[in-house]
Amino acid sequence: MEEREFIFGAGFGRTGTTSLKTAIEILTGGKCYHMSEVFKDSKKIQKWLDLHSEVKARNESKEEDPSPLPFDDIYDGYIATTDWPSVGYYKEILDHYPNCKVILTKRSSTEVWYKSFNSTIGKFIRGDVSFLWILGKLGSPNMSSFPKMVNEALNEMTFGGKVDEENVKKFSIFSIGVFFYMISLMILSSLYCVIL
């Protein structure tokens, strides 16, 4: 099977992921997956939930599973991804697409990122903003599993179960972790990386 070309925007939400999505689409003429895509096709939510269950089971198992994770199915029709839920699975994505081009976006500081995150996405995570209000604004049907998917991709996979001010240091650690994981893959393959 021929390996597909793929671009992975590995930055957290609130680091310019929507702008990066737009830029990738303009420059390549292809589609870029982003959390906003979930609202266009709510059937993808179950695919993310299934992926999370599979990743969790593999992480808990002592035996290695050589079968591929379903990223080709999730990203069918897309040439790139950025933002959550994808970024929560960066190791799995980089393993699945070892020759992908990586763009790691970040903010000027952890504090600047957290202020932006906390006033937008963080409100949803903490329950400050009603999920029904969000659905009403977006007009998306069949989104009842969306909170669970967001919890798994953000709380569990990215922040280890707790999104708060103390745990925000994971933002800096995450960027460093992605960087060093990419370096290790570059040594082993032809992975390209751009950090913005």
Mind listing the pLDDT tens digit for each residue in 39-75?
777 788 889 999 999 999 998 987 888 899 999 999 9
How many domains does the chain fold into? 1
CA distance 30 to 49: 25
CA distance 103 to 194: 5
Range with top average pLDDT, 17-21, 113-117, 131-135, 154-158: 17-21
Q: Could you tell me the CATH number of the domain that includes residue 13?
A: 3.40.50.300
- Is 173 among the domain residues? yes
- Is 15 among the domain residues? yes
- Is 47 among the domain residues? yes
Per-residue pLDDT, 93: 94
- Is 71 among the domain residues? yes
Q: What is the pLDDT of residues 68-104, one digit of tens each?
A: 999 999 999 999 999 999 998 998 999 999 889 999 8
- Is 1 among the domain residues? no
pTM equals 0.82
CA distance 73 to 75: 5
Higher-confidence position of 137 and 1:
137
Range of the domain at 67: 7-195
| Number of CB atoms found within 10 A of residue 15's CB | 25
Which of 17, 32, 20 is closest to 78 using CA atoms? 32
- Is 180 among the domain residues? yes
- Is 2 among the domain residues? no
